[in-house]
Amino acid sequence: ILRETLRKRGVRVITGLGKYFRHIDKNRNGFFSQADFKEALKVFHLEIPEGDFESLWLILDDSKSDKVDYGEFTRAMFGEMNEYRKAFVRKVSFAYMKLDFNKTGSVPMIDIRKCYCAK
């Protein structure tokens, strides 16, 4: 049910969920809790019946750790990326690693200006 809803709602909801989960992930471990997931569904108006929610959570949390890896969640919802997208992500990741040489997780505009010329 959620997979179909997400596909109908489009890429903005998907990217919004990603931003939301990264924002609430204060310790940056890439996981979200059942409460976080329930709140995210509310924030993005993705209502699903409580019984379906519980079933979905049991599927997502197959290790019974009371947390779900965001990457695993996206793969469960959308499947694996095709080879073209994987190659593109590798290129972008490589470029980002070059820009984020301090490994802070963000790149200030001043650092981008040092490495990029729009002319």
The answer for residues whose C-beta is within 8 angstroms of residue 69's C-beta and 6 or more apart is: 30, 31
User: Which tens digit of pLDDT belongs to each residue from 26-76?
Assistant: 888 889 999 998 999 899 888 888 888 898 898 888 888 889 888 878 777
Same domain, 43 and 94: no
Same domain, 16 and 35: yes
Same domain, 6 and 51: yes
Place of tokens 């694996």: 80
Same domain, 45 and 94: no
Supply the range of the domain harboring residue 49.
Answer: 1-78
Over range 100-118, report the average pLDDT: 81
Same domain, 27 and 41: yes
pLDDT at 87: 92
pLDDT at 7: 66
* Residue 3 clears pLDDT 70, i.e. is over it: no
How long is the chain? 119
Same domain, 69 and 19: yes
Same domain, 109 and 53: no
Over range 106-117, report the average pLDDT: 81
Same domain, 92 and 44: no
Same domain, 42 and 61: yes
Same domain, 18 and 67: yes
Same domain, 64 and 110: no
Same domain, 10 and 68: yes
Tally of structural domains, the chain: 2
Burial label, 42 (beta-carbon count in 10 A; 0-12, 13-18, 19+): exposed
